[in-house]
Structure 1
């Protein structure tokens, strides 16, 4: 099992969710986050004054998937979230050792 965390642009969330549903992903967690990468924030104009926005709003998706689903999930997120411009985001994959569904007590792949 793997934990996939993807940081994407907020306006791409619905596209990514629909694309993941299309390949059978039934659950994910979404968190509003702020951060920066190579783009190093940006400047904005407010009431005639220019100021720097250091942290850019993003959305973080967390999905627990079976090992067989990893490649297809990465491909779907990359296609659905990509705009071809700086700041599209990143996908992180890490090992997931144990999962328990609280309601039923199911574990690991059965709990996903």
Structure 2
């Protein structure tokens, strides 16, 4: 399972609002490549966190939605997001200090 993966967290967050088409997820997540989004959705489907429904239309329509198990992630991920928002400024400050001490001028 890749629950801590950046894209997994973002995709689960997006799907917490309800079923979406691939293109909607791609636009909403932002910054993810099509390949990475496809791999993330397949991994989530494999883990039983996302259902993929294909409709026999032209072009084919594919919807993704969280399963019952996938919905159980919303609470913990919201708590993690809240923690990250509260601590973001201090973490960035600590990173800058670390980078200065270690001769790394670029933020990672």
Asked if Structure 1 and Structure 2 have the same fold, meaning a TM-score greater than 0.5 normalized by the shorter chain, the answer is no
Which protein has the bigger strand share? 1
Quickly name the TM-score band, shorter chain normalised: under 0.3
Whose relative contact order is higher, 1 or 2, with alpha carbons under 8 Å and at least 6 apart? 1
Higher helix fraction (1 or 2): 2
TM-score, normalised relative to structure 1? 0.24
